[in-house]
């Protein structure tokens, strides 16, 4: 089977490409390289021994996407292509609605035109908004509290409507919690352009001496050490979840939303201490005020993924912080 990965040179997309190739799939990547680099294709080939097909194009372009589908028979799609910075989405909501939602609508239209009706969608735990209890389960009410989350929720609704109208579609909606870590080779990992928005790449740049210190936003939350608690999941485990989701769709079809998380939360300070212990590097940090909209604690109930896909996270926090530092220390 030939699987198209949109955003396939990005952080999660590149790791998923590796796991798909290892599982025997043919991989075709589409990416506009707005937040990644073409050399990731070379790195995927170095890891797997197989070079994925690569097209530099924008999923919002009907002609570009038709050209890809015309050139290669695509059996299924994993859709990662999206802007993903929560803070930026609050400043530039139209940019996010235009790219994330319009891009997905165009992709689905071209897929339908070419009779390709199998898709795994990269959603997010942000669709749960603010919940009163943990862990988060897939049957909880959904609400978005920022434009980025709104784009994910709108796309989920589009996919559910699409399936309700045409049961030939096979759809997996995967709600990620907090992916960190990198491939064990150190060749691919999370590398943002400019100052990172996410905790782990920022922490790694502090460890490398490129940033002075880490800001910890609030230490007065009702958690075990006062700092925010998140469900951190190794990106390789996450990538394997996509392979499992594809396998499920091939046999069962349907349209299901599924959490991908570990079911355990770690605080910001616990993450810092784990990094220091595993890598032998002291991380300077300072406590600052809470950021608006940040939650005290959330983590997944991943039991549905185990029940449907036979998937569960296998790598621990030490693996996450060790591989993150290996990638950062080996790459400029």
Token pair listed for 38: 């073409």
Asked if 83 and 96 count as a contact pair (C-beta separation under 8 A), the reply is yes
> Is 55 a catalytic site residue?
no
Of the listed 148, 163, 221, 266, which one is catalytic?
148
Instruction: State CA 70 to chain mean position distance.
Output: 28
**Alpha-carbon span 246 to 240, nearest angstrom:** 10
DSSP 5-31: EETTTSHHHHHHHHHHHHTT-EEEEEE
**Alpha-carbon distances of 223 from 229, 275, 280, 302, rounded to whole Å:** 7, 20, 26, 21
> 322: Cβ–Cβ under 8 A, 6 or more apart, which residues?
278, 279
**Alpha-carbon span 128 to 113, nearest angstrom:** 32
Instruction: Supply the residues annotated as catalytic.
Output: 148
């Amino acid at each position: 089977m030939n699987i198209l990965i949109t955003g396939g040179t990005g952080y999660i997309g590149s790791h998923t490409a590796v796991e798909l190739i290892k599982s025997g799939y043919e991989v075709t990547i589409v990416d506009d390289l707005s937040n990644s680099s073409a050399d990731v294709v070379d790195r995927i080939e170095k890891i797997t021994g197989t070079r994925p097909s690569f097209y530099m194009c924008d999923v919002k372009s009907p002609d570009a996407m038709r050209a890809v589908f015309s050139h290669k028979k695509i059996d299924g799609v994993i859709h990662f292509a999206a802007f993903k910075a929560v803070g930026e989405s609050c400043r530039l909501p139209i940019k996010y609605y235009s790219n994330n939602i319009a891009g997905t609508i165009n992709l689905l239209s071209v897929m339908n035109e070419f009779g390709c009706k199998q898709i795994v969608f990269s959603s997010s735990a942000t669709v749960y908004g603010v919940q009163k209890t943990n862990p988060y389960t897939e049957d909880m009410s959904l609400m978005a509290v920022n434009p980025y989350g709104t784009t994910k929720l709108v796309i989920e609704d589009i996919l559910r409507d699409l399936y309700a109208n045409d049961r030939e579609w096979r759809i997996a909606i995967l709600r990620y919690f907090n992916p960190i870590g990198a491939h064990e080779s150190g060749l691919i990992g999370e590398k943002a352009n400019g100052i990172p928005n996410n905790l782990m790449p920022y922490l790694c740049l502090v460890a490398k001496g490129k940033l002075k210190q880490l800001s910890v936003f609030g230490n007065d939350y009702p958690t075990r050490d006062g700092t925010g608690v998140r469900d951190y999941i190794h990106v390789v485990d996450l990538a394997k979840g996509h392979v499992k989701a594809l396998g499920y769709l091939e046999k069962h079809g349907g349209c299901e939303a599924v959490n991908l998380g570990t079911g355990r939360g770690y605080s910001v300070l616990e993450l810092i201490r784990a990094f220091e212990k595993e890598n032998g590097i002291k991380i300077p940090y300072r406590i600052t005020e809470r950021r608006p909209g940040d939650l005290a604690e959330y983590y997944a109930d991943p039991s549905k993924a185990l029940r449907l896909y036979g998937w569960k996270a296998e790598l621990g926090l030490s693996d996450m912080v060790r591989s993150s530092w290996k990638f950062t220390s080996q790459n400029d």
